[in-house]
Amino acid sequence: MTDFALIDGELHAEATPLARIAAEVGTPVYVYSAEAFRKRARDFRKGVEQAGRVHLAFAIKANPNLAVIRLLANEGYGADVVSGGEMARALAGGMKAEDIVFSGVGKTRAELAAGLDAGIGQFNLELEEEGVVLAEIARSKGLVAPATLRVNPDVDAGTHEKISTGKAENKFGLPIDQAPDIFDRLAPLEGLNLRGVAIHIGSQLQSLEPLEKAFVRIGKLVAELRGRGHTITHVDLGGGLGVRYKEGDVPPTMDDYGAMVARVTKDWDVELMFEPGRVLSANAGVMLTEVLWVKPGVTNPWVVVDSAMNDLARVALYDAHHDISAVKPSGETFVANVCGPVCESSDVFAKNREIDTVKAGDLLVLHSAGAYGATMASTYNSRALVPEVLVSGDRFAVVAPRISAESIMDQEPIPDWLAD
Ligand code: PLP
């Protein structure tokens, strides 16, 4: 069975009718399939194991729900984290400290210290000073910090500019040509075990070409570092593999990705590390929403749904596309705009799109919403924080409840001196 499919004319998550979840939990709500996560986690592992022994760290920024983290920990995954909060989540979700990689362009001293105290497996350094400070903190604690240098390979990932990270002008990583000298200066520091290099060139990559180009550059860097006498045991190849959001998207398969990695890295003699996020999670989740109104428009009707840009920001943020379909399609379609209730013109999920014909009260699904969905949700317009549900077969659990506008208000004391 596919993970989100029509059974007897009605959309299900695995064997659970989405209408049942809407009735019991309400809408809007994110719905994840446990089996979909597991399948992708296993396929990714199988793909990259063509290259030998690998370390897998789920980029939990894509979906940091604790139940999702636990599920992936059970699959043998560690975590790629970019904040102290994400590190705490990875640990709380059951990931082993030594399987956690700490990335991020602006780690604070407190976060570096917390990572050392927790005994995390690797820090990916973004600048020379960060390495100096990390070594200093580690020494003060009598510890040694395992680390890599994240380099910017200056490769155009060919993805949306807001999710591109590997071009020279992006804020991420050290310029690759400066990396050898920086490595020379950092490697001797007591308190630091500088053991390799890391890259991540962008997200939602639809072609292996830029990845291969970047990996080849990293291979040359590894050779140069070894030529300078450094011991290189780890290379972190990041994440970035794209997924299918719409018809016509043909992302590389995990198998082809793994084959390319195996070919490019065959002589590297290192432990390869990966930080997949979207590829494990995007198509393991949907956003379930109810139609509030169908409002006449100038050209097409507006289908006003009860989810909005605060619940799923990707469309407003990156002009992203999410397929939209009815939970109980009638077989008829119409051309419509689909929007949320938030007071912003960018709160539009689709324009002039042919979708299943719907009326007020019908349920709709925005597909491919398991990555960079709930985690980016906010309470803008004083809306509730959207809940999350995890399905396994014919059972489901609320893995993040709806947080009401009222309970958020409870956290906002009005100072006494404004009393009158
Ligand atoms: N690793 C790092 C350092 C990232 O910044 C990101 C996302 O931007 C990822 C991994 C995950 O990327 P993706 O979800 O495209 O696999």
Its pTM stands at 0.96
The pLDDT of residue 1 is 45
Q: How far is the CA of 204 from the centre of ligand 1 (A)?
A: 9
For a substitution probing ligand 1, which of 61, 101, 207 has the most ligand atoms within 8 Å of its CB? 61
User: How close is the Cα of 111 to the center of ligand 1, in Å?
Assistant: 19
Tell how far the Cα of 81 is from the centroid of ligand 1, in angstroms: 10
Q: Is 276 a pocket residue for ligand 1 (Cβ < 6 Å)?
A: yes
Phi and psi for 8 in degrees, rounded to 5?
A: 50, 45
Check if 93 has its Cβ closer than 6 Å to any atom of ligand 1: no
62 lines ligand 1 (CB under 6 A): yes
**Cα–Cα distance measured from residue 35 to residue 4, given in angstroms and rounded to the nearest whole number:** 10
Query: To 10 degrees, what angle do helices 109-118 and 128-140 make?
Result: 50
DSSP designation for 383 = P
Whose alpha carbon is nearest atom 5 of ligand 1?
200
pLDDT of 2 reads: 65
Helix (H) or strand (E) holding 195: strand 192-198
Task: Name which of 276, 370, 365, 363 is nearest 314 in CA terms.
Answer: 370
Residue 150 CA, closest ligand 1 atom number:
3
* Sign of the torsion formed by the C-alpha atoms of 349, 355, 358 and 363: negative
DSSP classification of residue 187: T
The atom number, within ligand 1, closest to the CA of 276 reads 16
Give dist(CA 355, CA 364) in Å, integer: 10
Alpha helices in 53-145 (DSSP H): 66-74, 84-92, 109-118, 128-140
Phi/psi at 101 (5° precision): -110, 130
Is the minimum distance from the CB of 198 to ligand 1 under 6 angstroms?
A: no
Whether residue 56 contacts residue 77, with contact meaning beta carbons closer than 8 Å, is answered with yes
239 ligand 1 Cβ < 6 A: yes
Identify which of 63, 72, 77, 80 to mutate to test ligand 1's pocket (most ligand atoms within 8 A of the CB): 80
Ligand 1: nearest atom to the Cα of 124: 3
What is the Å distance from ligand 1's center to 171 Cα?
Answer: 14
For ligand 1, atom 7: residue with the closest CA = 203
Q: H helices within 228-277, ranges in order? A: 254-265
Q: Can you give the pLDDT at residue 169? A: 78
Domains and CATH numbers, the chain: 4-32+282-409 (2.40.37.10), 34-280 (3.20.20.10)
Per-residue pLDDT of the chain (420 residues; tens, 9 = 90+): 468 999 999 999 999 999 999 999 999 999 999 999 999 999 999 999 999 999 999 999 999 999 999 999 999 999 999 999 999 999 999 999 999 999 999 999 999 999 999 999 999 999 999 999 999 999 999 999 999 999 998 888 777 777 677 777 788 889 999 999 999 999 999 999 999 999 999 899 999 999 999 999 999 999 999 999 999 999 999 999 999 999 999 999 999 999 999 999 999 999 999 999 999 999 999 999 999 999 999 999 999 999 999 999 999 999 999 999 999 999 999 999 999 999 999 999 999 999 999 999 999 999 999 999 999 999 999 999 999 999 999 999 999 999 999 999 999 999 999 977
Does residue 279 line the site of ligand 1, with CB under 6 A? yes
Could you give the residue numbers annotated as active site? 343
Please identify which residue in the block is written with the tokens 């002589």: 267
What's the rounded Cα separation, in Å, for the pair 260 and 93? 32
Task: State if residue 103 touches ligand 1 by the CB under 6 angstroms criterion.
Answer: yes
Closest ligand 1 atom to residue 62 Cα is: 14
* CA of residue 241 to ligand 1 center, whole Å: 9
166 lines ligand 1 (CB under 6 A): no
